[in-house]
Structure 1
Amino acid sequence: MLTPEVIKQIQTELQSIFPRSLVLLGGSYLWNETDESSDADFYVVGGDINFWLNRKSKKLKTLKNQFLEINITWCPRVFFIFGWYDIYGQDLIGNIYRSPLNYKINWRNTIKLGYFYCLQALTATTKEEKNKWLKKASKRLAWAQKLNNKEVSITDRIKPYFSFGNLAKTLSNNWSTEEIIEGLNELVKIGDEQLKFSLINYLIYNIKFIVHKDFSFLNSNPDKKIILEMQKLIQSGSITQSAVGLINRVIFPVYIL
């Protein structure tokens, strides 16, 4: 685990690398819910020329090599403003920033992550690793159920969606992988309206992947396609790390630094 001083040091360094972007600390280190398996999650919100010049800088590479347990996600400012990617984070001086709650997109993203974490649990090589991914998947299922049942209150909106504190009443720590998958499958069945074609979703995916000459989503509903692929992979019973890696590459159209 990283100390608060080290977390502050990393965030300060990231802000110096991306001075025109908003660098936020999120996840369990912000929620005070860390354990030995916790990663430190940082968001870089922005996207001007400074970002593109520095995204492969030596300073960033050195920082990532020094702290292997950090995750850095770049989110375009427009994604943040319209709630196309959920962010709850804190800047260097303690201000909290959160993206608006876009029910439809939040539901879709939560379902995608729930399945993805189940895939990670199913391919885990140690009990600790499996429990880590099950914990993450359980939180996604609990939040998706709240969204589906329209149980999101004003209080929920001012808390991190996926914190244990926010999900305490609906979260079961005893869900098995099979129970989580069953719960997600049920939500997908009754939430077909949520998975209808979205022009925003289509454009976001294709803008990212066509640039890299990847036309996988050109004739599809991206979110629905990814969810169906994960369902098929789980049903096949032959899940490999390479298959999970392919899903990881496309699950969100954001840039992992």
Structure 2
Amino acid sequence: MLALIAGQGALPRAVAEAAPEPPLICALEPYRPEGLDVDKSFRIERLGGFLHWLKARGVTRICMCGRVRRPEIRFTRLDWRTALMLPAIRRAIRRGDDGALRIVISLLEEAGFEVVGAHEVAPALLMPEGVATRAQPGPDLARDIALADRISVDQGRADLGQACVIREGRVVVQEDDAGTDAMLARLPEAAPGTGGILFKGPKFRQERRADLPVIGPNTAKGAIRAGLSGIVIDARGVMVLDRPALLRRLDEAGLFLLARKV
């Protein structure tokens, strides 16, 4: 049986609906997934007890998906099972996001669960290679992608965001903890055809079983507002929510979407 540990946003619902069998929906307090009834909520201080509860219900596989911020831990509220995990939890607190996720995954595996990525549960959310829109990329795309790749490696090494905006061969803005939509919102509104690309892909050496990049219709809305020419993502490395709505918005505005082979 599969359990989803669901954070915020539309991804948990998309993964749950794509799963071969209905998963058990769990939520880390205070987060609530959009459009899903939660079977079990838990606090990080009760992680050990929560995992025991999952085992008692026959769960063997866990998928973590959706946005969460690192929770504040009150060590005086640990249950005894979670207290046994305390050394690993303390290490996770000191790590960056990707390092913390690796430690959490190791804790789940040590407890006997198989940890699977959202893209493994819902592979149809991944884009195949190629241009998916009527609009096609311009002649400067290779130059901009080369720069975006270098920025992506730097972001990964610093454990920062998964996206950036490139315009006329220079970096305009980079993603931070606020996410891609917030990054695009920081750009001034620009006339259609101003130019530039939104680049999004997994961080360098990222643990892909959690926090794989996601785009959706709101991403298209932000790119259109900023006057960008298009969006470039890694084929098989970025999940796409509500693909028909996303492509419709891009086609109506004349932007391209390229899923490039890495």
TM-score, with normalisation over the residues of structure 2?
A: 0.25
Higher-Rg member (1/2): 2
Determine which structure has the larger strand proportion and give its number.
Answer: 2
Determine which structure has the larger helix proportion and give its number.
Answer: 1
TM-score, with normalisation over the residues of structure 1?
A: 0.25
